[in-house]
Amino acid sequence: MKLLLAAPCNLVSNDPELGHSLIGVFHDIMVRVIPGAEIPNNAVLPKEWAIFSKWSLDPGEEGRNHFLVTEIYWPDGSKLSETRIKSLAPGVSPSISFIVRSQGFPFGQAGKIKINLRVEEEDGTDIKIAHEAVEIEILVRIEKDLALQ
């Protein structure tokens, strides 16, 4: 198995005939706040976003159920979340895709949000790691904006 693409974005559209559309791919985000505002370390903006990943399958990996384990970490290293989802179209093509959707974007800490993506494979009753974790980062910048007062 090989990672072809991993990208955080504002929106992912999935069309069975045309494939995927990634809208608003980003690697950093700027949050403007009122000067003097206290922001909790675990603050999350009510903002929808997604992480899209596509993986090529090696011969013999088709026909099995694959799962993506996604771990998201705050800049201070503490874990924000962990999810496990099944592939969009298991075993029907030489590649698989995952869309991890979130209803909130973490902004309580300035710095790099780390996202680990790991693929697991189910073969009968056994679950094994099909691809070791890969890491992507999103830089969160917090700016004090006088115009917001």
Each residue's pLDDT expressed in tens, for the chain with a length of 149 residues: 999 999 999 999 888 778 889 999 999 999 888 888 889 999 999 999 999 999 999 888 887 889 999 999 999 999 999 999 998 665 567 888 899 999 999 999 999 999 999 999 987 778 899 899 999 999 999 988 767 66
| Cα 34 from Cα 50, distance rounded (Å) | 27
Q: Which residues pair with 45 in a beta bridge?
A: 105
* pTM of the complete model beyond 0.85: yes
- DSSP assignment letter at 136: E
pLDDT at 109: 95
Q: Which residues pair with 144 in a beta bridge?
A: 33
How deeply is 47 buried, as exposed, middle or buried, from its count of CB atoms within 10 A (0-12, 13-18, 19+)? Answer: middle
- On whether the CB atoms of residues 19 and 35 are closer than 8 A, the answer is no
| Cα 121 from Cα 118, distance rounded (Å) | 10
